[in-house]
Amino acid sequence: MTTTAVLITGTSSGIGRATALRLAARPELTVYATARRPGTLADLAGAGARTLALDVTDEESMTAAVRAVEAEHGSVGVLVNNAGYGEYGTVEETDLDAVRRQFDTNLFGLARMTQLVLPGMRAAGHGRVVNVGSMGGRMVFPAGGYYHASKYAVEAVTDALRFEAAPFGIQVSLIEPGLIRTEFGGTAARTLAGSAAPTGPYAGLNDAADRQMAQSYRSRLLSAPPEAVAKVIERAATGARPKTRYVVTPAAKLLVHSRRLLGARVFDAYLRQQFRATA
């Protein structure tokens, strides 16, 4: 039986892992689950996925992974650009080397993986690219400007790619999750804590941001498990008419539309209430 090759980045945990597990259960798909350390993917291999080493900040690693899939299938049928993380801190205090590393993963890795699979997709006359962005590509919270900037950039690249790739039979979708209960929240909190001195000028704001993140990720009303995103990625990867955008979680949909309708001044007033420093 001929199967469609699905290449997913960043599957060692969270959304990527849940997506690999879900898609590996479909007999018409051959799922390639990837991570910098493939030894972390044993459970995915047991579930039927094939595993590859892939670091989206390393050219040789990316090229080798794509070549391995193309050697067996001719082309990558679906690329899921999932790898990413949050580097948090204020604009003034965050180390720019850390910001560059974040963009290397969140944007440039995504872009390079896309460049590598497109020639094969064009030759095949079909393919799909599913980019995992964030509701943070549509709105901004304080102490997260650089993370949001990387996701705004993913929005722009995805919009351009969708138009450019369409004549070749390649469909492009953007997934915009809200708060998802993964390791992302913990990583964001650690980078926020390490971005500035505890008694610095933004100490109150950083404390408030840390408190808001902790409360929001604990909330079952505001957050969702990674399986909720995996289900949506499955629709984008396999549906007959995939949407251009999928906002995931009811809370994310409410926030995105509220930001659009309220405008900057009113939304800033809302943020001042939410991120008010405590004595």
- So which residues are the catalytic ones? 147, 151
User: Rg of the chain's alpha carbons, rounded to an integer?
Assistant: 19
Q: Which amino acid is at 240?
A: A
Instruction: Tell me the two tokens of residue 183.
Output: 């390791």
Q: Give which of 113, 174, 187 is closest to 147, Cα–Cα.
A: 187
Element holding 131 (H helix, E strand): strand 127-132
d(CA 77, CA 237): 9
Q: Would you give the DSSP letter of residue 108? A: I
193 Cα distance to chain centroid: 22
d(CA 40, CA 160): 34
End-to-end alpha carbon distance in the chain: 65
Instruction: Mention every residue, 6+ apart, whose C-beta is less than 8 A from residue 34.
Output: 7, 8, 9, 10, 11, 41, 51, 52, 53, 54, 65
DSSP 145-178: HHHHHHHHHHHHHHHHHHHHHGGGTEEEEEEEE-
